[in-house]
Amino acid sequence: MSSVTQNTFSVILCVEFITGSLGNGFIALVNCVDWVKRRKISLVDQILTALALSRIGVLWLSLLNWWVSVLYPVQSRTGEMVKRIYVSWTITNHFSIWFATSLCIFYFLKIANFSNSIFLYLKWRIEKVVSVTLLISLFLLCLNIVLLNTYIDVWIDRYKGNRTFHYSSRNPSVFSTLLLFTNTMFTFIPFTVSVTTFLLLIFSLWKHLKKMQHNARGLRDTSTTAHVKALQTVIIFLLLYTTYFLSFLVQVWSSEFLEKSLIVSFCQTAGIAFPSGHSYVLIVGNSKLKKACLLVLWWLRCRFKDVEPPGP
């Protein structure tokens, strides 16, 4: 890969890192300050805070991995380093994805309207549903880490231990495909759950509109507005999530070209757009975060233009 292309991807990655860290850091800070003031925190704020912190970890690890691979390409491909990078990134990425999925489940149960007894049972126990979802995700995380460690240890032992093992020594495409395919399969599970909640939200909105038309009422009520607002947020979320998921698949399909690293670099920068850009979608879609963001922007404007901030 040419130096110009590498520098371009490096600049894009740094911009995504800065914007993502600011956005996610803002979400965590606002919720933590509100938690201290009120001495309590709602379930959705707990999920948002945990999601923001996990995504900061993903961004930092992605940036660290990028610069280590650029500055120390040989050292970054030793067996021990490969294990540390993959396991650390897998843990933070796992929590980031599953907290986002839990947020989708929360909004789906909170907004959707179904008369099904199972749905109503889950709707009345949202906290337990989210807790069980995260417990299941912990089991999947343990299984994922065990598989990754097994693959790496077997590969290291095959090439006479850590000292002589080198990631690109022999047939790197097979090794890379195993690791990427494993992470892709474990990412596919929460991705499927998120898509399912999205489709069910659409079905719930369709049923609600049909019911309102049958009752000769207007098409805009509180429930309809909540459905539409949730769907708008989820659509953007799924677009970013799909880009993130496809970045894994592309790397698996093109693993034989990893030596060129152009495809890998493109997929890395495209994938980071999900944890980076989605934070601003969450800020705009949350009234408390949006209000806090506007106050910060007014404060910055006052600092530079001496304009009076808006009233409370």
pLDDT of residue 267: 73
> pLDDT, tens digit, for every residue of 221-235?
666 676 677 777 778
> pLDDT, tens digit, for every residue of 125-149?
999 999 999 999 999 999 999 988 8
Measured from the Cβ of residue 74, the count of other Cβ atoms closer than 10 Å reads: 10
Position 254 confidence tier, pLDDT thresholds 50, 70, 90: low
pLDDT of residue 169: 47
Q: Which of 65, 133, 55, 143 is nearest to 95 (CA)?
A: 55
Weakest-pLDDT range from 116-130, 156-170, 275-289, 295-309 = 156-170
* Cα separation values, 252 from 30, 177, 184, 294, Å: 38, 5, 9, 42
Is the pLDDT at 176 greater than 90? The verdict is no
Position 48 confidence tier, pLDDT thresholds 50, 70, 90: very high
DSSP for 194-255 reads: HHHHHHHHHHHHHHHHHHHHHTT--S--HHHHHHHHHHHHHHHHHHHHHHHHHHHHHHHHTG
Is the pLDDT at 32 greater than 90? The verdict is yes
> pLDDT, tens digit, for every residue of 71-121?
666 555 666 777 777 788 889 989 999 999 999 899 888 888 888 888 888
Whole-structure pTM value: 0.83
Which pair of structure tokens corresponds to residue 221? 């009520």
292 vs 48: CA distance, rounded Å: 15
Size of the chain in residues: 312
pLDDT of residue 133: 94
pLDDT of residue 2: 59
Which pair of structure tokens corresponds to residue 247? 């970045």
Q: What is the mean pLDDT of residues 1-8?
A: 68
Q: Alpha helix (H) ranges present in the chain? A: 3-38, 43-71, 79-111, 117-123, 126-158, 161-164, 172-214, 222-253, 262-285, 287-305
179 vs 90: CA distance, rounded Å: 10
Q: Above pLDDT 90, what percent of the chain?
A: 26
- Rg over alpha carbons for the chain, rounded to the nearest Å, is 22
98 vs 274: CA distance, rounded Å: 13
Q: Report which residue type is found at 272.
A: I
User: Under a CB-based contact definition with an 8 Å cutoff, are residues 257 and 263 in contact?
Assistant: yes
Q: Above pLDDT 70, what percent of the chain?
A: 76
User: Under a CB-based contact definition with an 8 Å cutoff, are residues 72 and 160 in contact?
Assistant: no
pLDDT of residue 162: 46
User: Under a CB-based contact definition with an 8 Å cutoff, are residues 25 and 42 in contact?
Assistant: no
pLDDT of residue 102: 93
Weakest-pLDDT range from 56-60, 67-71, 214-218, 301-305 = 214-218
298 vs 296: CA distance, rounded Å: 5
pLDDT of residue 19: 92
Average pLDDT value over all residues in the chain: 79
